[in-house]
Amino acid sequence: MLVHVRQAIGKEEVAAFRGAAARAPWEDGASTAGANAGLKRNRQLAPDSKLSRELGARLLSSLLGNTVFVSAAIPQRIYPPLFNRYDADDYFEPHVDNAIRGDAVSGERIRVDLAATLFLSEPDEYDGGELIVEDIYGSRQFKPPAGDLILYSAGSLHMVTPVTRGTRFASFFWLQSMIHADEARSLVCDLDAAIQELAPRIGGDDPDMRKLAVVYHNLVRYWGEA
């Protein structure tokens, strides 16, 4: 699964996150890399810091109001969002995310089904720094506008290419979806998107629209975990 959520948050929110982060100390990003620590060179806000937690909670509040994000992820649990920066010569080599993540503060553990990267820098602010994700259609490269979010299977091989100029700011986090299987989640997401596109044209009260809604909810009921 790979979904590009355009304008997941607005430019004013991007500026607010950037402003808060600019005043904070940054630490080595290796602590959140797990077994991939040797493949990574960047910096991050301390994951258990008050600022990181406050910004993460604010970000999730916005994202959970975004229908495209919720439809694609069908989130059950979300690891607290983290914030990182890639300066010149920073990178993250090809890797697959850890299957299980534990939050040191809450002690909660989640199965990592999906990973998300929210871009907080505009593309012209830095060179390099592309997010590259390998999926069933091959290698896909992303360097979208600030405020866009890329949601992808955590089991996909992915990387961040070396930054050669400027700084790439982003937030990243992991999710456990109510629907475990990637293929099933993609089908449900596609069905929901079709329903949302059809509703304005034929009306939400159309009998066939109601049938599609029944199918959607019954598929979530069949595959979903609460």
* Known binding positions for Fe cation: 95, 97, 158
Residue 31 pairs in a beta bridge with none
Look up tokens 């991939």; give the residue: 36
- The tokens describing 132, both together, are 């590259």
How many angstroms from the chain centroid is the CA of residue 20? Answer: 20
Feature table: binding site for 2-oxoglutarate = 168
Per the annotation, binding residues are 95, 97, 158, 168
